Amino acid sequence: MNDNQFVIEKFEPKQSYYQQKKFDCGNRIINKFIHSSLKKQVSHNFYQAFVLLDLENNERFSAFYTLTSFKLQANELERLSKGSLPRDIPCVRLVMLGVNLPLQGQGIGRKMMSDVLHRVHRASKEIGIYGLYLDADPNATDFYLSLGFTRLDCGGSDDVAKIFLSIEVINQLLG
Ligand SMILES: CC(C)(COP(=O)(O)OP(=O)(O)OC[C@H]1O[C@@H](n2cnc3c(N)ncnc32)[C@H](O)[C@@H]1OP(=O)(O)O)[C@@H](O)C(=O)NCCC(=O)NCCS
């Protein structure tokens, strides 16, 4: 991957993005969300989104992720915590992540996740954040585990895996 080919920017709902409507990461639900709902959800401030633009292809909409605030219950983190926790644990939730199919397998997903971790790290200096949470698609669970995430649900559900990375580990990863 040529690092100068891509830039990650905050998604602006009033802006048009080249080939956003043709975005295809292979996941039907995520594709539909990008084509029909992303603008509206960001306009309402339910999510913030960040988009990877391909500078060598007319700034094509090539990957994205969305973040929102979230609350975990202390019992969901029991296995990971060393001491007692308050009942409600403030987190950031990574709602969706997708990379356009022709670009998959070239380190873009990892690059997007590095951007997520830096953003959560910066935000945690301003607002209390205990960690990063997400419901992972079964096909992508190993991708997140390889980045240091832990499963919270011991493999209980077939639909999604509850995945978590504490701010302590994020800070260690970012050195
Ligand atoms: C999951 C996804 C974001 C990964 O993006 P990507 O650009 O292909 O990933 P990368 O090229 O950065 O891969 C990073 C590492 O993860 C591995 N990896 C990538 N996708 C993987 C997967 N689905 N399962 C297991 N490992 C995976 C790669 O082999 C690579 O390992 P390496 O560094 O040892 O070589 C992308 O495949 C995607 O958009 N999938 C469809 C949408 C989706 O499932 N999103 C997640 C919903 S929770």
CATH label of the domain that carries residue 56: 3.40.630.30
Strand partners, 131: 91, 166
Tokens 């007319």, located at residue: 58
| Contact (CB, 8 A) for 63 and 112 | yes
Residue 139 alpha carbon to ligand 1 centre in Å: 9
Domain, as residue range, for 63: 3-173
Residue nearest ligand 1's atom 32 by CA: 107
Residue 31's pLDDT is: 98
Mean pLDDT of 1-13: 92
Residues contacting ligand 1 via CB (< 6 Å): 25-27, 30, 97-99, 104-110, 136-137, 139-140, 142-143, 146
Which pLDDT band holds residue 175 (cuts at 50, 70, 90)?
confident
Instruction: Give per-residue pLDDT as tens, 57-86.
Output: 999 999 999 999 999 999 999 888 777 889
Which pLDDT band holds residue 157 (cuts at 50, 70, 90)?
low
Mean pLDDT of 82-98: 93
Residue nearest ligand 1's atom 23 by CA: 140
The preferred substitution site among 31, 143, 164 for testing ligand 1, maximizing ligand atoms within 8 Å of CB, is 143
The fraction of the chain above a pLDDT of 70, given in percent, is 97
**Number of domains making up the chain:** 1
Mean pLDDT of 33-58: 97
Report whether pLDDT(156) > 70: no
pTM of the model: 0.95
Q: How far apart are the first and last CA of the chain?
A: 24
Distances in Å between the alpha carbon of 121 and those of 10, 115, 132? 17, 10, 10
Residues 6+ apart with CB under 8 A from 5: 54, 55, 56
Nearest by Cα to 97 from 16, 27, 171, 6: 27
Report whether pLDDT(50) > 80: yes
Residues 6+ apart with CB under 8 A from 8: 50, 51, 52, 53, 111, 112, 115
Instruction: Give per-residue pLDDT as tens, 99-153.
Output: 999 999 999 999 999 999 999 999 999 999 999 999 999 999 999 999 999 999 8
**3-state class percentages of the chain: helix first, strand second, coil last, to nearest 5:** 35, 30, 40
